[in-house]
Amino acid sequence: MEFSANDIAGLLGGEVEGDGSVKVNNVSKIDQGIPGTLAFLANPAYAKYIYTTKASVVLVNRDFQPEDELSCTLIRVDDAYASIAKLLNYYEQSKPKKVGVEQPSFISESASVGEQAYVGAFAYVGEKATIGKNVKIYPNVYIGDGAAIGDDTILYAGVKIYAGCKVGKNCILHAGVVVGSDGFGFAPTSDGSYDKIAQVGNVEIYDNVEIGSNTTIDCATMGSTVINEGVKIDNLVQIAHNVEVGKNTVIVAQVGVAGSAKIGENCMIGGQVGIAGHIRIGNNVKIGAQSGISNNVKDNSTIFGTPAFGHRDFMKSYAVFKNLPQLRSDVIELGRKIKDLDESNS
């Protein structure tokens, strides 16, 4: 499909500057722009590229002031980032959606599959599993006995949902996600070996949750591991048994959350953070990447380090850390001076 700059400006409530009849059929990044595409400028760090980009049309904020000549057509909008997001979503939604059951697939007789669903080849739907309307199940997905998948949810290739787990509506689980594997629970025995503690609970994922590829979420020992509405989890994250993640919390890649930890709402947890078991993290907490959290955290905290404390305090301490050899030399030098003073005094 092809659109003119005028068409796009109309869609976005924007204002054209330059040739409004120029047409585009794809998007590109401003620093890699190619003719016939639309780019955008939101981050000022990329402003320098607008003078040389080969993109035919560039979305900019209304207050953008060029400092040089431009060869592209501009579309001025209130928020260039929000506008490009809107366009990308139009584009994504215009793609045809998969519907129907490919063969061979395995759908147990006692399972139910809603209207307009897609079940890819080599997908497996266990006994008494319930699949909502318009659910997209890609190839090689496994859905265990009694699991439930809500309407409009997408399970990409190779997702595995253990028996009895529940996924809400309008969720997206990326390839290789595992939901409901056994929690890591063992009781030591007198000979140094461990007895397995059966993990008989499940995982409950509420609506509008997105989970990145190869992330793992363990079932509860008893009860449920809970991922609340609107949570966004990136790739390769580990969520242990009986964890609860609050509404609209964002968890970046490779984070690990140990058993029974409770994370509040609207938190932002940076990549590779580790959270110890049984602790509570309040609401609106921000945790810097790679931090280690071993104690409860109050609402609205911004923390960093292993073990973590206030982010700004950490950075002040770290600034001194970088010069510790100098500080040590200073202390030795002071010791020498005191010795001299002491001797000259006596």
Active site positions, annotated:
241
The burial class, CB within 10 Å (0-12 / 13-18 / 19+), for 293 is buried
Q: Does 99 bind a copy of itself (CB under 8 A)?
A: no
Nearest to 236 by CA among 213, 263, 219: 213
Which residue, 14 or 146, has its beta carbon nearer to a copy of itself? 146
Q: Does 176 bind a copy of itself (CB under 8 A)?
A: yes
Q: Does 6 bind a copy of itself (CB under 8 A)?
A: no
Binding range to a copy of itself, per CB under 8 A, among 1-9, 59-67, 70-78, 247-255: 247-255
CA separation for the pair 28, 87 (Å, rounded): 12
Choosing from 23, 54, 133, 232, the residue that interacts with a copy of itself (CB under 8 A) is 232
Cβ neighbours, 10 Å, residue 26: 12
Choosing from 64, 118, 156, 206, the residue that interacts with a copy of itself (CB under 8 A) is 156
Which residue, 51 or 106, has its beta carbon nearer to a copy of itself? 106
Choosing from 20, 54, 70, 81, the residue that interacts with a copy of itself (CB under 8 A) is 81
- Secondary structure letter of residue 261 according to DSSP: -
Which residue, 117 or 123, has its beta carbon nearer to a copy of itself? 123
Choosing from 248, 279, 282, 311, the residue that interacts with a copy of itself (CB under 8 A) is 248
Site for a copy of itself in 294-313 (CB under 8 A): 294, 306-307, 309, 313
Alpha carbon 38 to chain centroid, angstroms:
26
Q: Does 32 bind a copy of itself (CB under 8 A)?
A: yes
Which residue, 14 or 144, has its beta carbon nearer to a copy of itself? 144
Q: Does 325 bind a copy of itself (CB under 8 A)?
A: yes
Using DSSP, how many helices (H) and how many strands (E) does the chain show?
Answer: 4, 40
CA separation for the pair 327, 281 (Å, rounded): 36
Choosing from 20, 276, 280, 286, the residue that interacts with a copy of itself (CB under 8 A) is 276
Binding range to a copy of itself, per CB under 8 A, among 67-75, 128-136, 235-243, 295-303: 235-243
188 bridge partner residues: 194
Convert 44-75 into a string of H (helix), E (strand) and C (coil). Answer: HHHHHHHHCCCCCEEEEECCCCCCCCCCCEEE
3-state secondary structure of 195: strand
Q: Does 1 bind a copy of itself (CB under 8 A)?
A: no
Cβ neighbours, 10 Å, residue 303: 22
Binding range to a copy of itself, per CB under 8 A, among 2-10, 17-25, 61-69, 220-228: 220-228
Q: Does 51 bind a copy of itself (CB under 8 A)?
A: no
CA separation for the pair 88, 99 (Å, rounded): 22
217 bridge partner residues: 179, 239
Choosing from 240, 269, 285, 287, the residue that interacts with a copy of itself (CB under 8 A) is 240
Binding range to a copy of itself, per CB under 8 A, among 7-15, 110-118, 129-137, 245-253: 245-253
CB 246, min distance to a copy of itself, A: 11
CA separation for the pair 193, 179 (Å, rounded): 27
Binding range to a copy of itself, per CB under 8 A, among 1-9, 69-77, 132-140, 295-303: 132-140
The burial class, CB within 10 Å (0-12 / 13-18 / 19+), for 172 is middle
Answer yes or no: are the C-beta atoms of 218 and 180 closer than 8 Å: yes
